[in-house]
Structures are given as C-alpha cells and as structure tokens.
Structure 1
C-alpha cells in the first residue's frame, strides 16, 4: 500500500488544488475537507438537516473506497476520513498521518462474500480453486472477511486466487458476470443483493464491525481545524442518532444523494447501527487483535500500535 499511495500522490495533490478552487480561494487552513465513502456520512448529515450555518467553512470530498480516501489524506487534500478497522490499520501501517477520533460498532452484516443467484458455489469450502475479487484493496474489511471465512472452512490462502478491484469497477464486472465471487461491503454489497446476488458468508462472527472516523494529524495540529473537527463530530453523532430513529427518511435522502435505488438504500440502512461513540479501550483492544492478525498474515508492512493511534480529546465520553 505504501507504493500505491506514493504512485497516487500526484492525484491527491490535484484534488487539493481542485478543492481550494472550489472553496472560493480560501487557504486550506480555512476550509475543513470532510472525506466520505459513497456519500454515506453526507447522506446522514443532510437527511438530519445538520452541519448548517457552522462557524467554519467545509467541503465534502467523496471517494469510492478507503484506499483512495486515505491517499487523499496522505496528500493533505482531506482532513477527516471514515473507514472500517482494517483500512485504518493499512493506512497507519503505510505511514498515513491519522488519528482515531471517534468510533462506531455494527453487527458485521455490512460486509459479505457474494455469488450470483444461480452459482454452483454453495459454501465457502466450494471456493477451492476459484477466483475471488476483493474490494477495494489489500487490507480492506472484505479482505479480512475472506481470510476469516477461508480459515473457518479449513482452506488455505493458496486454495484460491485473489484479485483486487475498486468497488465501482468490481460492481460493473460482477454485474457483467466477469466475477464469480466478490468480497465487498456497504452500498456495493446492498446494490448487488438488491439485484439478486446471494450472500455466501457475511462478516458476523469474523469481522469486528468496528468503524472509525479518523483525522489527519496535519489538520489536528491546526487550532482552527481542530475546533472545527470537534464540532463536526458532534454534528455527525446527532445525524447518526437521527438516522437510527428515522430510517425511512434517511433511506429516501440517501437515494437522492447517491442515486442508489430505494430498495438498496433501505437494505443498507437496516444493517447500520449509526451510533457514534468515543474511541474506547474496548474498541482499541479489538483493533489491536485485527492489527496483529493482519501483520502475522503478512498483510501489513509493519506492526501497528492501535492505542497510539487514538485521540480521545475531540469526542470524549
């Protein structure tokens, strides 16, 4: 991932310039850039009618997955980045300068191994000798699910051929039946299921279900942006609470923001447990277990100290 981030550095720099232009000529220190994946956070915030008339300027920057989102963080083009536990660890191990500033917990149903409805593959054990495409990159939550599911079924990594594609590209290939097994998550999973895909194994019992909002250390070093991030987290927490008690309204706005079919949006919303929490010792312990598992599997270039990533001062208990 380090090489991948380096190769894409020019892309991140270009994004930074585009964001600066879009912000009316304000300097980067004056505009909070809120990273997002598939507009999930933005949809909640707009559905709840929050983040309006704040005492700071902000912009959304949407990405297809965690890998390109953290590339933008590395390039200094994005200030906050929501992601699952494994992409956060992959980013930290690659040297992306981030801190964990808030957390969330879900059941693990929002990540899955998918096959076509008429696929002869009935169990994970049937994956032996098959090709599996993982979204979005090495170290994703979908990758972690695949590793856990193979181990659960008594298979080795060498029993399958693994490839990696960004979610949008993989979705198009899966729809065209160029992919027989797809490890994916979130909206992409919901869209595939809405169109008839069958869940071979979801993440319950394998994935932690942990999600985090991270902030770049560069942004946190700015008193202006640090204060803005703390306020934004409070707004995100209120938006998540609203979405949890107004799921139909949230699904409707999600459809408007993302263009996803309402049925797929409802499927995604039902799986979410959008409650933002502080980064607790329990969450850190779970994250450390995942970090150790990935490092031992050779999927992280170095070990990660999860506790050292936490900054609990912006969103305290």
Structure 2
C-alpha cells in the first residue's frame, strides 16, 4: 500500500468526494479543438474554492471547473491518484509525501504564508507550558503521516532539544480529532487551518505555531502528469493559474472582505474567518529556485527522521510551463 494511505485506509469514506460546478462553458465548446473541457480542482475544506468565489475569478471560463473537496491532504491525494481530480492543493510536506508515495504529480505553482496557520495546541488547563514538556506525552497529529502539522512538531521538538522518538505520535483525521479535543480526550493536538482556529476560539491554547522558520510557509498547487500531457486541459490549467493569481492578490488587498466571504460561505465564526484570512496563503506564483530550496529543506528534514521515505528531489517534480502559455 502506498505510504500516503497507510494510516488512512478508510479516508475516502470519511471524507466523501464532493463535486460542484464553479465555472461552466457552453457545453459544446471549450479550449482548442478538443470540445468541452472539464478541469477538476482538488481542494481542502473549501479553502481554494472560497477564495476563487470571493474574488470572482472563475465566472467566465470557456471550460468547466469542478471542485473535489476533502478535509485533509491525504484523502485529497488519494483521489488525485485515483483520477478523481486533476490538481492538488496542499502544504509542502503532504505534497512531498504524495510524491514519495508515487502519485504522478508536478508542482505548477507555489504559495506562501507566515506559518501561523499551523500550530500545536494544548488544553487550556494543561500543565504543558513549553515544547520540552511534551517529552513522554502523546501528540495527536492531523491528518496523517507527512502532514504540515507533523513538520511543525518535528522542527519544534528539534528546536527544544528533543528527538522525534521522545513523543508518542497518533494520527487522526481533523474532524475526529476536533471532537476529541473539544471533549478533553486529547491533550496535545498538532493541527492547521480552520480546525486550529476553531479549537483556539473554544479555549484551546497555542503552545507554538509554524512561524519563525518552524515551517517553510510554502504550499503547492500540483497537477497530474496526465493533465499536463493533455493539451486542452493544460491550456485550461494555465488559465486557472492566472486567475488564481489574481484571486490571491485580491485577498491580500482586501482581508476584511475576504474574511466576510469565508464567514458567509463556510459558516465560520467571525473569529475563525478573520484568522483564516490573516493566515492564508497570500503569495502565489511559479515555483522559484528559492521555493525549491526551501521545500527541499523540508524533504531533507523529514527524510532524516524516517517520515519521508523514499526521499524526494523537489526539482525533479516541478513544471512551470503552464505559467508561460
């Protein structure tokens, strides 16, 4: 079984694939001579779709866009591997884990944030006050081996002078962990995004987050090799990337409006919506040499502790060609 699936054998059942039309062509046209073209974009917790909707960038395409929504990167990449999505959208480590597991992907765009959207949380009344206090404790990591939350945990432990073997790691999907943390059955939770901010709003305490180099801050949009080899889908992807670039620029310039859309569309509280808008990826573009070097650092670190195996040469899995079309 591919490594990406080892801890999530029921992931696809737990996170059902939802396909919703976001942009429609005429049905008898499309890009080029290939007739109508449908591009299925992988997403996590509606983040990318909400951004595109808020910025209004996918309203007038001559191809159809559908969304494949999941609660975490591992089930998303399982869907990509199974042909249910043309693209992936995840932080650097889960993308590396998918590549290590043999998912045929190429990174076509890089995103970056400040790292604050990933954190290790503890219960408000916990006696854990520093990362060093985690020695001998159980830490729940969402959603699977190779998640961005695990990268934060590994780097935080190293910074505190601990090894990865000094804690007991358990993997749990975010929705399951969210309920367990809320009821007090989980004391330490490494988590990200809306789940993180929601738990903090309900009283969880941030022990440490991914700023100050504890995560690279990089995320990647990836495309399957099959999609890139299809001239019509590849042309549609190039157009989508240009439009998403405009969407990320809009979000950076209109954080309050973006937060309102997150609140209205996703049902988030004002606190969570504002936190998501503040910590989201706001830098977007081709996969630069700087991005490759930073992500390679993530790969090297996680390979060194046995989480990423086989190792990944990041540069071998980059394709910036869609940006030049």
TM-score by length of 1: 0.92
Evaluate the alpha carbon distance shift between residue 34 and residue 130 of structure 1 in structure 2; reply closer, same or farther with a 3 A threshold.
same
Q: Which runs of 5+ in 1 are unaligned?
A: none
Matched, 1:307 2:318: no
Which 4+ runs in 1 deviate beyond 4 A? Answer: 6-12, 18-23
2:31 matched residue in structure 1? none
1:170 match: secondary structure: helix
Distance 1:314 1:9, change over 3 A: farther
Matches within 5 A, 1:96-245: 96-204=103-211, 205-245=213-253
Question: Does 2:262 match 1:276?
Answer: no
Structure 2: how far apart are the matches of 1:271 and 1:20? 26
Partner of 1:55: 62
Give, in whole Å, the separation in 2 of the partners of 1:196 and 1:239.
Answer: 32
Partner of 1:286: 294
Q: CA deviation at 1:315?
A: 2.1
How far residue 3 of structure 1 moved from its aligned partner, in angstroms, is 5.1
Contact between 1:132 and 1:182, CA under 8 Å: does it hold in 2?
yes
Deviation at 1:307, TM superposition (A): 0.3
Q: Does 1:256 align with 2:235?
A: no
Higher helix content, 1 or 2 = 1
Deviates more, 1:152-161 or 1:232-241: 152-161
Residue 272 of structure 1 and its aligned partner are, at CA, apart by 2.6
Distance 1:268 1:291 in 2: 26
8 Å CA contact 2:4–2:101 kept in 1: the answer is no
Query: Aligned partners of 2:21, 2:63: CA distance in 1, in Å?
Result: 17
Please report how far the alpha carbon of residue 11 of structure 1 lies from its aligned counterpart in structure 2 after TM superposition. Answer: 4.9
Tell me, in whole angstroms, the C-alpha distance in 2 between the residues paired with 1:303 and 1:199: 31
TM-score (norm 2): 0.89
The aligned length equals 314
SS in 1 for 2:321: coil
Compared with structure 1, are the counterparts of its residues 270 and 9 closer, same or farther at alpha carbon in structure 2 (3 Å cutoff)?
Answer: closer
Q: Deviations over 1:49-107 (max 9, x none)?
A: 12012010111111101000000000010011111010010000000011100001111
Q: Which runs of 5+ in 2 are unaligned?
A: 29-33
SS in 2 for 1:73: helix
| TM-superposition CA deviations, 1:268-296 (whole Å, max 9, x none) | 11123412111001111111111111112
Distance 2:292 2:266 in 1: 32
Q: CA RMSD in A?
A: 2.8
Q: Distance in 2 between matches of 1:11 and 1:178?
A: 25
Q: CA deviation at 1:112?
A: 0.7
CA distance in 2, matches of 1:185, 1:171: 11
